[in-house]
């Protein structure tokens, strides 16, 4: 990270920051593969027929757990990876990394909400407080959005300065765009 007035992508990425993300992705893919093979077991639907939910809803909940947990586990590594990939003012780079982490957590909450719903709704449908499922996920999804908004607000002025300087550098002293084709006006 630098303190100059430019923001750019770096040409190389540290292996130590990529490895955790790849490892978590492989764990999730292997888990999903094993879950898919489990779904093919003969007679599974007969043994699980005592459950108040369908077997495919239980398997979907298992897959949802794998994906959402994988996203949450990868979030800190994604933060480090984004910080490693950007070169620019420390504050902007830190805010970009944190925003990527919070966005990953937000996606994990959305995946969990949609994926667990078929398994949980039949169980909680008769309860008076069935709305708690939806309210809980609403609150859980608002937290990363608020954190992303805070980071965006905090880095608005430095990003506006960077964009302004980039625009001023690309426009020549005569007011024409220096990137324009020579035959166009």
pLDDT in tens, 54-68: 888 888 999 999 999
**Total tally of structural domains belonging to the chain:** 1
The mean predicted confidence, pLDDT, of the chain is 85
What's the rounded Cα separation, in Å, for the pair 143 and 150?
11
Q: Is residue 3 part of a domain?
A: no
Q: Is residue 175 part of a domain?
A: no
**Domain assignment of residue 80, given as a range:** 8-170
Q: Give just the sign of the alpha carbon dihedral 120, 126, 127, 129.
A: positive
Q: Is residue 154 part of a domain?
A: yes
Please state the separation of Cα 33 from the chain's center in Å: 22
What's the rounded Cα separation, in Å, for the pair 53 and 12?
49
Give 87's DSSP letter: E
Q: Is residue 2 part of a domain?
A: no
Could you report the per-residue pLDDT of 140-165, keeping only the tens digit for each?
Answer: 999 999 999 999 998 888 888 878 87
Q: Is residue 181 part of a domain?
A: no
Would you state the structure tokens that stand for residue 74, as one six-digit string?
Answer: 């990868």
- 130-134-137 Cα angle (round to 5): 135
Q: Is residue 123 part of a domain?
A: yes
Q: Is residue 57 part of a domain?
A: yes
């Amino acid at each position: 990270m630098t303190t100059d007035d430019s923001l750019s992508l770096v040409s190389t990425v540290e292996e130590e920051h990529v490895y955790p993300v790849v490892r978590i992705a492989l764990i999730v893919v292997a888990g999903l593969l094993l879950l898919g093979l489990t779904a093919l077991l003969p007679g599974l639907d007969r043994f699980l027929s005592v459950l108040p939910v369908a077997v495919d809803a239980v398997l979907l909940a298992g897959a949802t757990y794998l994906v959402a947990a994988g996203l949450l586990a990868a979030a800190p590594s994604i933060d480090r990876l984004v910080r490693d990939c950007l070169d620019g003012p420390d504050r902007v780079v830190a805010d970009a990394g944190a925003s990527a982490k919070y966005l990953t957590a937000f996606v994990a909450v959305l995946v969990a909400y949609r994926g667990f719903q078929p398994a949980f709704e039949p169980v909680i449908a008769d309860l008076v407080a069935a709305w708690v499922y939806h309210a809980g996920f609403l609150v859980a999804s608002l937290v990363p959005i608020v954190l992303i908004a805070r980071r965006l607000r905090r880095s608005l002025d430095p990003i506006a300065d960077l964009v302004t300087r980039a625009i001023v550098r690309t426009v020549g002293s005569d007011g024409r765009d220096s990137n324009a084709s020579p035959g166009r006006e």
